[in-house]
Every structure is written in C-alpha cells, then in structure tokens.
Amino acid sequence: MSDLSSGAKGRIGETLVALELEKRGWFVYRPDFEEKVDLIGLREQDEIFKYISLQVKTSFLTKDHSITVHKKKHLEDPTFYYVFCLIDTFEKQPTFIIVPSVELNEVMEKAFKTPSWKEKGAYTFHIPSNLRLGKWEKYRNRFKF
C-alpha cells in the first residue's frame, strides 16, 4: 500500500466508512464544497431527518496506526464526528474509531496528557494495532449517532 498517495488512501477510508454507514441505513454523500467535512450521512428517524457530518482519517498499519487531526479542519458540533479508519492488511475488516467532535479535545488531553491541539495546531497520535486499542476501545465501531 505504500505506493498509493495519501489522497488515494484517504479516499479508500472514506469509501469504507460510507459503505458501513449505508449498510446501517444511512444515505451518504461527499460534499465537494466543504474542506472540513469528508462525508455527510442522512436518514429518517421517527419521521424526522437526521444528519451527521464526518471527518475521516485513514491509517494503514505499518508499525502502528498514525493519525493527525488539524485545528483548521476541526468543528465542534454535536453532529460532527471523527472516524479513524484503521486498516490492517492481516485483518478482514477495518476497525472504525468513532469520536464525537465535542469529546475529542477532552479525550486527547486525558489519553495523552498533551497540551491542547488548539494551541499546537494539530494532534498526531499513534494507535498500536486494531487488537490493542487501549483508551480508544470504547469508540471501536461505535456507529450509534
């Protein structure tokens, strides 16, 4: 997978997330007009249309999974979620870590004891493998929006 561009790897992750959401009853599209949002999901729930916005971060396992979240692409909104798509070539399915944007700063500070990403401009962190998610385990495949 190393010969793929980072953009191609990102599109693979976005496609995997979109397929997973569609299996769960969501209509999914890519908003080409918005840099901060990779995917938008829409579905009817109790006769009301519900929507979610997603920022997808894709990581192919080498030594570990590496994820970077940038301040300029962050939105703190109850309908905005981060999906870390962790792809391991030895696993049949990717692992999805789904974190509400309103929880991300708190999760990062508690998990990594780092200064706020808002001061640094970006968080880069590593997840060892799909089998050992540690502090991210509670977000594994959490598709309940």
Name the residue range of residue 84's domain. 6-139
Asked if residue 29 is part of any domain, the answer here is yes
Asked if residue 76 is part of any domain, the answer here is yes
Q: CB atoms < 10 A from the CB of 41, how many?
A: 23
Q: What CATH number does the domain containing 125 carry?
A: 3.40.1350.10
Asked if residue 1 is part of any domain, the answer here is no
Asked if residue 67 is part of any domain, the answer here is yes
Per-residue pLDDT reduced to its tens digit, 88-128: 877 788 999 999 998 887 777 666 555 555 566 777 777 77
pLDDT of residue 67: 82
**Can you tell me whether residue 139 is helix, strand or coil?**
helix
Asked if residue 39 is part of any domain, the answer here is yes
Confidence of residue 46 (pLDDT cuts 50, 70, 90): confident
